[in-house]
Amino acid sequence: MNRIYRSVNLAGLAFLLLLGVAAAQDLHPSRRPSPMGTARITLDDTYIRVVYSRPYKRGRDNIFGTEDSGALVPFDKIWRTGANEATEVTVTGDVMIGGKKLPAGTYSLFTTPGEKTWKIHFNSALGLSGTGSFDPETRKFVAADLPASDVLVLTAAPGVLEEEVDQFTIALDSVDDGADLCLRWITTEVCLPVSTP
């Protein structure tokens, strides 16, 4: 009788371990609803890399718009510019972005979308979960004071794409005098020129 109970207990334990392994695998970044993405380019001797998460449209028709309209990303509110952790940009040398100097380093990238103008924030706060962090003691989200740690804030006019982009994309597109850092989602595109000094 003890052998039967022992066999049942071992089988139950093995089943629970398999469930735990399966659950842990589902947390792997490649299985996220908004998977990780990277964009990278080398300009002269400077390497530029963007690491971000890529949400899908998922049937949502109101992505960028007014808060009153219930937009997923409301105008005039700071956005993590992707999903999950804050988007991070690394430049190994000084670069010119939108005509202004960004020193070598790693920065969080945030945006403040607007109907006619977007603000693009390069910020010194790192390791954030979106626009803040979770306090392990209170188990609550604490918003970061992002304006206080902005290193560079640029403005750009959004453009309209002819073809819809279902999954949020950040690209570093090569051009004659450097690259264009472009954010694209649904029919919205926002680009900034990037070059070496």
State pTM to two decimals.
Answer: 0.81
Cα–Cα distance for residue pair 74/3, rounded to 1 Å = 62
114-156 pLDDT, tens digit each: 999 999 999 999 999 999 998 889 989 899 999 999 999 999 9
Inter-residue long-range contacts of 141-146, CB under 8 Å, 24+ positions, other chains counted: 146/78, 146/110, 146/121
Confidence of residue 88 (pLDDT cuts 50, 70, 90): very high
Phi, psi of 93 (to 5 degrees): -145, 165
DSSP code at position 119? E
107-125 pLDDT, tens digit each: 999 999 999 999 999 999 9
Query: Are 62 and 68 contacting, i.e. CB atoms less than 8 angstroms apart?
Result: no
The b-or-e profile of 39-59 (16+ CB within 10 A means b, else e) is: bebebeebebbbbbbbbeeee
Burial of 115 (0-12, 13-18, 19+ CB in 10 A): exposed
Share of the chain above pLDDT 70, in %: 84
Cα–Cα distance for residue pair 110/81, rounded to 1 Å = 6
